[in-house]
Structure 1
Amino acid sequence: MFAQHWWLDAVCPGWSAAIAQKGDQVTGIWPYAPQQRMGISLLRNAKLTPYMGPVVFYPADMKEANRDSHEHDVIADLAGQLPATKVWHVSLHPGNRQAGLYRAKGLRNEVQQTFLIDLAGDEASLFANFKESLRRNIRAAEKEFTISDDVSCLPQLYSYQQQTLSNKGVGQPYTLADVQRLMDACKAHNSAALWVARKGSEVAAIVWNVWDQERSYYYMGAQKPGGDSYRAMSALLWHAIKQAKARGNTIFDLEGSMDPGVERFFRGFGGRRELYIVLKKSDSLLWNAINYLR
């Protein structure tokens, strides 16, 4: 999803990509977003992009025993094409496990976590796998709220997030124009919905759901500040999961969090905890000093 050219055009017009080939076959790509701050070269995830890094393509007839070696060789080729950079902070796609290769190239491997829900089962079995208290909340919410896809509520999602972050003393890292441009691109490629839970005329919670052919993602969400809308958020995520199943997606990615409260909420959906690598490096004394003083 996050390596699609139209996504990258929307979030980072100056993006580029390393490309690995074997003969006339493309075996992998590594989109990247080169940046400069105070003369310091940076490689970081593009704005509004949770996962970046290498994407490897496997021959259809490749034996399982050969996949890891193929992945290693392709990523080594791609990494060798990237520009020399002083500072790295790149969150890789879940499933990329070539930690030794990255370490050999002078990068630190840190981890974050997400929760992946396998959509292979039927709807009833998916729901039965949820925590009992979550199922009760969803049943109650389905009687209390109506759910619709309403992109006109995007400014409201942005406002809810802004208020929540402000209460924590944190600034919004992107503008409303940024998210509107991305939503327009997603809708143009039939790859997003903005699920809105309403109680009467009041918007209780909003979930931005994006997807590609294989995976569906809980991309962004918020509840009305000051409201107690966990039931609404639970119902919205269940609705998004059902839609992903009906669409033919095989995985629903909750894009998990290291925040204990959010993690506890996500665990209730019965997904599999998946760790993913975050590549870090800082060879800039100036950058290190700036971060130390923050």
Structure 2
Amino acid sequence: MSGDTAYTALCREIPDLPIFLEPWYLDALAPGWKVATVEKGGKTVAAWPYFPKRKGPVSFVTMPVLVRFMGPVFHPEFDHEKQWYKLIPELWVQIKGYLVFRQDAPYSLTNWLPLYWLGFFQYTRYSYTIDLRQGREAIWAHVAGDYRQQKIPKAREAVTVESSDDLEAFIQVHDQTFRHQSLPSPVSRDTISRLDAAAAARGQRRILLARDRQSGQVHAGLYLLINDHSVYMLMAGSDPALRTSGASILLTWEAIEWALTLPGVRTFDFLGSMIEPIERVRRQFGARQVPFFRISYLRWKWLALLFRGKI
């Protein structure tokens, strides 16, 4: 069985696999991605997808744009620490050799000690999620009072929320967020279009736009991803000139309410952030802080001086 085929078969067995690790997603956003696998008893029990790149003479592994998690995953029968200690080294021996290696591991990897023994180091990062099994009333009760009583009702008076296939409208409002700060968009139009073509064809994305009730102008937009167990808030944007309307806050609440209607979906995942003002908004929705590991490996430790702040 080839690595890609073995990995696809394993993915079908993992009930909470992040959408970012699904083969179709990697095909869309990480051309040339590779995967190491381990088989036991004729079945694939562990895999480690990764995205190799080369810049001049330097070969390295990094995170593709819009792929939020990559790292080792395991068949449910082997997904416990005793097996991690055995399987992670078996996977790593197939990968090592790159000058620099960096990934953001999925939430499921809660113990990085096997990686430490292999020479990795890590930074703990944080995301925010909401457990949708609480139900609407409990989730609403945990939303900050000024959001419930002032900002969301005020936004409803100013804008309407629509589910849309207007990708161009979303890209424009997404890019406005960065232009306002004199920054280039971190995601190219081509990358978003490639993702959207793949996700829309599978029915695994939703675009929400907040339009002005009077002018129809877009105040804010959200780009959501969906799989069997989670809704992911992948991208967001707002018009800086219209930010006081509270449309972004309303869109987020509308996205949570919509996620509550999806059978089997248990988690609303904000996918971060470590940026203080954004983190504050996540907490205002009652989201739970979830740690994950940014794991890095340098073939030679002195490379840390060259890559300080870049890995």
TM over 0.5: yes
User: How far has the Cα of 1:159 moved from its partner?
Assistant: 3.0
User: How far has the Cα of 1:229 moved from its partner?
Assistant: 4.8
Q: Structure 2 unaligned segments of length 5 or more: list them.
A: 1-18
Tell me the SS of whatever aligns to 2:110: coil
Rounded to whole Å, the distance in 2 between the matches of 1:118 and 1:9 is: 29
8 Å contact 1:52–1:90 — kept in the other structure? yes
- Relative to the length of structure 2, the TM-score reads 0.85
Identical pairs, percent = 24
Rounded to whole Å, the distance in 1 between the matches of 2:37 and 2:80 is: 18
8 Å contact 2:121–2:297 — kept in the other structure? yes
User: How far has the Cα of 1:291 moved from its partner?
Assistant: 6.2
Q: Given the superposition, is the C-alpha separation of residues 108 and 290 from structure 1 closer, same or farther in structure 2, using an over 3 Å criterion?
A: closer
Map of 1:70-81 to 2, 5 A cutoff?
70-81=83-94
Rounded to whole Å, the distance in 2 between the matches of 1:168 and 1:243 is: 31
Amino acid aligned to 2:163: D
In the alignment, which residue of structure 1 is the partner of 2:250? 235
- Relative to the length of structure 1, the TM-score reads 0.89
8 Å contact 1:72–1:98 — kept in the other structure? no
Amino acid aligned to 1:31: P
Which of residues 247, 254, 259 in structure 1 aligns to 2:270?
A: 254
Rounded to whole Å, the distance in 2 between the matches of 1:189 and 1:51 is: 20
Q: Structure 1 unaligned segments of length 5 or more: list them.
A: none
User: How far has the Cα of 1:288 moved from its partner?
Assistant: 4.8
Q: Given the superposition, is the C-alpha separation of residues 82 and 125 from structure 1 closer, same or farther in structure 2, using an over 3 Å criterion?
A: same
8 Å contact 1:216–1:252 — kept in the other structure? yes
Amino acid aligned to 1:149: S
Map of 1:113-262 to 2, 5 A cutoff?
113-136=126-149, 137-152=151-166, 154-200=167-213, 201-229=216-244, 231-247=246-262, 248-262=264-278
Are 1:265 and 2:276 matched, yes or no? no
The farther-off stretch of 229-238 and 118-127 is 229-238
In the alignment, which residue of structure 1 is the partner of 2:295? 279
User: How far has the Cα of 1:169 moved from its partner?
Assistant: 4.4
Amino acid aligned to 1:77: E
User: How far has the Cα of 1:177 moved from its partner?
Assistant: 1.2
User: How far has the Cα of 1:127 moved from its partner?
Assistant: 0.9
Rounded to whole Å, the distance in 1 between the matches of 2:227 and 2:82 is: 27
In the alignment, which residue of structure 1 is the partner of 2:33? 15
Which of residues 37, 40, 45 in structure 1 aligns to 2:55?
A: 37
8 Å contact 2:170–2:207 — kept in the other structure? no
User: How far has the Cα of 1:242 moved from its partner?
Assistant: 1.8
Give me the CA root mean square deviation.
2.3
Rounded to whole Å, the distance in 1 between the matches of 2:45 and 2:245 is: 43
8 Å contact 2:204–2:227 — kept in the other structure? yes
Amino acid aligned to 1:141: A
Equivalenced residue count is 287
Rounded to whole Å, the distance in 1 between the matches of 2:169 and 2:285 is: 26
Tell me the SS of whatever aligns to 1:48: coil
Tell me the SS of whatever aligns to 2:193: helix
In the alignment, which residue of structure 1 is the partner of 2:82? 69
